[in-house]
Amino acid sequence: MSNDNLVKNKTNPKCVPTGIPGFDELCGGGLPRNRTYLVSGTSGAGKTIFGLQYIYNGITKYEENGIFIAMEERPEQIRENVKQFRWDLKGLEEEGKLAIVDACSTKIGLPLYEKYIDDRPFDMRSMVDQIMAIQDNIDAKRAVVDGTTSIGFHFQDPSKIRIELLKLSTTLEIIGLTSLMTCEIIDDVMASRFGVEAFVTEGTILMSYKRRDAVRVRSTEILKMRGTNHSQRIHPYEITTKGIVVHPNEEVYSA
Ligand SMILES: Nc1ncnc2c1ncn2[C@@H]1O[C@H](COP(=O)(O)OP(=O)(O)O)[C@@H](O)[C@H]1O
Ligand SMILES: [Mg+2]
């Protein structure tokens, strides 16, 4: 990779740019560092792509290594799906800049081929231990847990879910990671699935994919982001051949 691609964020070390076109200007240049944020949206909204783009840009533009914990898709599918954006995840893994944890295959009874696996019945302690071990190996600055919905279904009781997610988000913060946790919602009346996820994170980004007349419209909104004077508006975004592009100055089309 040429150094020209690196845009070091020297001016504000407290800020972690996602590098997603149009998004960072909605929150003063990026996410406040060493915090955990929730990315909520219905199925197909683009949460996984958002998370991967954040990690990919971190490595390729900002020299920040990343950890991606795949709870709902196999790493092989993930690597394949993003080839259309020309993101070579395998190459970054081989360079020791990216770790993808397969926290999916064993849960559905598939054999494991990955370097990093979470192969026990779900246990937050072991997941946290594994993240810390990877952190020792690759000195990551960014992490994505995709998604918390599986964790929630495992614990069922909302107070238990809240404690377990708090353990996870706090650990990520303590070991120096700025993280996203994705959350699949059924509709965007409620920004989280179990009603507790937003309490354990410092910010909530809502991604909406709604039908308006004969078309579906994608729009994003920052519902909360502590420590920033973030946009209060709803902004359209697209998924393009280069990934997600947010349009910060356009209104969402409404019929
Ligand atoms: N090249 C592309 N152009 C337009 N839309 C795309 C493209 N690639 C993926 N998508 C959209 O992204 C969606 C999947 O995004 P994903 O991040 O997996 O959603 P989520 O994780 O929120 O369920 C697909 O359903 C499709 O609508
Ligand atoms: Mg997803």
E runs forming strands in the chain? 15-16, 31-32, 36-41, 66-70, 98-102, 116-117, 142-146, 178-184, 203-212, 215-225, 235-240, 243-246
Q: Is the dihedral of CA 171, 230, 239, 97 positive or negative?
A: negative
CB 241 less than 6 A from any atom of ligand 1: yes
Using CA atoms, how far apart are residues 179 and 34, in angstroms rounded to an integer? Answer: 8
Tell me which of 69-78, 190-199, 227-236 is least confident: 190-199
**Distance from first CA to last CA of the chain, Å, rounded?**
45
Task: Establish whether residue 245 lines the binding site of ligand 1, counting it when its CB lies within 6 angstroms of any ligand atom.
Answer: no
pLDDT the model gives residue 11: 61
Nearest to 134 by CA among 83, 171, 189, 186: 171
CA of 32 to the centre of ligand 2 (A): 24
Nearest ligand 1 atom to the CA of 85 is 1
CA-based radius of gyration for the chain: 17
Bigger pLDDT: 254 vs 189:
189
Residue 74 has pLDDT above 90, yes or no: yes
Strands 203-212 and 215-225: antiparallel
Alpha carbon nearest to ligand 1 atom 10, residue: 239
pLDDT tens-digit profile of 201-224? 999 999 999 988 888 899 999 999
| Cβ-based neighbour number of residue 4 at 10 Å | 6
Range with lowest mean pLDDT among 34-48, 56-70, 108-122: 108-122
Place of tokens 């696996």: 117
Task: Quote the CA–CA distance of 60 and 35 in Å, as a whole number.
Answer: 21
Ligand 1: residue whose CA is nearest its atom 17: 46
Average pLDDT, the chain: 91
Q: Which of 49, 215, 237 to mutate to test the pocket of ligand 1 (most atoms within 8 A of CB)?
A: 49
CB 5 within 8 A of CB 92: no
List, in order of start, the domains of the chain with CATH numbers: 36-212 (3.40.50.300)
| Whole-number pLDDT of residue 255 | 46
Residue nearest to atom 4 of ligand 1 (CA): 239
pLDDT of 150 strictly over 70:
yes
